[in-house]
Amino acid sequence: MDTFMEQLPIVVNSLNIGFLQTLKLFFVTLLGALPIGLLISFATRSKIRPLSAFFKIIIWIVRGTPLMIQLLIIYYFPGLVLHQNIWGMAETGRFNASAVAFIFNYACYFSEIFRGGISRIPVGQEEAGMVLGMSKKDIFFKVKFLQMVKNILPPMTNEILTLVKDTSLARIIALQEVIWAGQAFMKGSQGISGAIWPLFFTALYYLICNGILTIILGGMEKKLEYFK
């Protein structure tokens, strides 16, 4: 295999498969970390001191250490220390461990964003709901939720774009995401070796993905401009 045109379809095919894994990790993390992050933000705002203190410490640790270390520990700890394979075999196992590590890590980051977004809502909003006889649940979902979403969209957009790029950290436990797929052609795979250009293609995947996300999230921000 020598000509670029011959190699291209092979590389693109490989990168597509890798990127599918990247996207899967991205969406699973988002789907898990958003609700869990919201719950953690409630816990840190709780009046029960030990509960809020506990979660504040967890957040401090998670935000103060590299995601890569968390990923390595979560992946290897059960096998090496507990002698139990809890993650499953091969690629499935690597994905499960990555998903857990990413959800845990991002839930902590998201929870701080939620906390900021909720605390910026004036107390008068909650009080107005209360005097109208609304339940706590209704006050949260019907009064505060949309205001919170509006408050958090800008920092959340940043965090989500970072998440897209951070998925590449799963490369450290050899999850076969898009960078793993691109790197394979440097070492040698499917008859191609020593090729650096697939990595540039890899970068393109991230750029396009983040471009699309920027447009979607920016659109949401625009949509919420109808109120102040």
Side chain identity, residue 187: K
Candidate segments 34-42, 91-99, 127-135, 205-213, binder of another protein by CB under 8 A? 127-135
3-state SS, residue 174: coil
Q: Does residue 9 bind another protein (CB under 8 A)? A: no
Distance CA 133, CA 142 (A): 13
Q: Does residue 129 bind another protein (CB under 8 A)? A: yes
Q: Please give the DSSP secondary-structure letter assigned to residue 189.
A: B
Q: Does residue 222 bind another protein (CB under 8 A)? A: no
Size of the site for another protein (CB under 8 A): 21
Q: Closest CB to another protein among 45 and 144?
A: 144
| Cα separations in angstroms, 182 against 26, 124, 157, 216 | 18, 54, 27, 27
Candidate segments 77-85, 86-94, 140-148, 179-187, binder of another protein by CB under 8 A? 140-148
CB of 221 to another protein, least distance (A): 14
List the end-to-end C-alpha distance of the chain, in Å, as a whole number: 60
Closest CA to 131 of 146, 149, 119, 143: 143
Residues in contact with another protein, shown as a per-residue x/- string from 150 to 189 under the rule CB under 8 A? x---------------------------------------
CB of 134 to another protein, least distance (A): 6
CB of 194 to another protein, least distance (A): 57
Q: Does residue 135 bind another protein (CB under 8 A)? A: yes
Candidate segments 16-24, 105-113, 144-152, 155-163, binder of another protein by CB under 8 A? 144-152
Q: What would the two tokens of residue 222 be?
A: 């625009």
Which is it for the CA torsion 190, 196, 197, 203, positive or negative?
positive
Q: What angle do CA 181, 174, 16 make, to 5 degrees?
A: 25
Closest CA to 145 of 46, 227, 56, 28: 227
Q: Closest CB to another protein among 117 and 129?
A: 129
3-state SS, residue 177: coil
Q: Closest CB to another protein among 115 and 150?
A: 150
Query: Which one among 86, 119, 127, 165 touches another protein, defined by CB under 8 A?
Result: 127
Binding residues for another protein, per CB under 8 A?
A: 122, 124-125, 127-135, 138, 142-143, 146-147, 150, 226-228
